[in-house]
Amino acid sequence: MSRFDAAQWLDKVRQARPLVHNITNVVVTNIAANALLALGASPVMAYAKQEVGDMARIASGLALNMGTLDDNVVEAMLIAGKAANEVGVPVVFDPVGVGATPYRNDAASIVTEELKLTVLRGNAGEISVLLGAGGAVKGVDSASTGENLPEVMRQYARKKGCVVIATGETDYVTDGDTIWSLQNGHPLLAAITGSGCMATALLGAFVGAAGRNADLRTYADACVAALTCYNIAGEIAAERVQGPGTFQAALFDALYSLDSSQINDRARITI
């Protein structure tokens, strides 16, 4: 069991109130924004090609999510991502539904090839497909996971110089050196719309709090903390509700009231 201090990262986010520029799934725009606000970050949802570059340059973090995909979204992501790369703003990419259609596969390939990503995050099926480890997706959900996925992730992270994350019943995070295994969370997180999208947005806040041009290990630590805090909030919310209808609201409340003692008592992180 790790003594990793996720609580200090939560304090950093709340002190910094990082501006997170989201180009995200339109189904969950409001949900992602509320999750960021509840945790203490500052969201902005900007999609127009005419302003995404300017917005990315002034943001603390950029979160790209291809959940509702079209050519305009891809172009906006590339404009924003390249602007962020120019000034050292960390970029988080969520290849939602990669493996479901050739169009999504092509879009994910373009983004990963043309941008310098700080964090690549998807569910285990998506990451398996994208990294060529096997696996499958069903729509935007993970259907199966490739064999030895954590090691494939580690090799990809080392090659690309980014943090790679696969989320599921157990979340795996690697910076190309260390592989973290995160066991917090609750099944109700999979029973609401946008749980993965919220995770991506919150990753944008935590790496944003780490600052521009930070080293990869710092960004990896921020990612481990982000997922741990989010999943613990999910556990706390689940204890207060009967089902998914009220879980989402309880999750916002849990993010808002999350404190160091809850994190330190509940965190389950192994290396």
| Cα distance between residue 170 and residue 108, in whole Å | 24
Assess contact for 42 and 31: CB atoms under 8 A.
no
Q: What is the CATH number of domain 6-270?
A: 3.40.1190.20
Task: Please give the annotated binding residues for ATP, written as ranges.
Answer: 121, 167
Domain boundaries in the chain?
6-270
Task: Please give the annotated binding residues for substrate, written as ranges.
Answer: 45, 194
How does pLDDT run across 203-226, given as a tens digit for each residue? Answer: 999 999 999 999 999 999 999 999
Q: Model-level pTM? A: 0.94
* Residue carrying the six token digits 């990793």: 4
Q: What are phi and psi for residue 186, nearest 5 degrees?
A: -150, 145
Assess contact for 80 and 116: CB atoms under 8 A.
no
| Cα distance between residue 247 and residue 231, in whole Å | 13
Q: How many CA atoms lie within 13 Å of 33's alpha carbon, on the beta-carbon side?
A: 13
Task: Please give the annotated binding residues, written as ranges.
Answer: 45, 121, 167, 194
| Cα distance between residue 31 and residue 248, in whole Å | 9
194 three-class SS: coil
Please name the residue ranges forming H helices in the chain.
Answer: 6-16, 29-39, 52-58, 71-87, 102-114, 124-130, 149-160, 195-210, 216-238, 244-257, 260-266
How does pLDDT run across 132-165, given as a tens digit for each residue? Answer: 877 555 554 444 565 689 999 999 999 999 999 9
How does pLDDT run across 6-52, given as a tens digit for each residue? Answer: 999 999 999 999 999 999 999 999 999 999 999 999 999 999 999 99
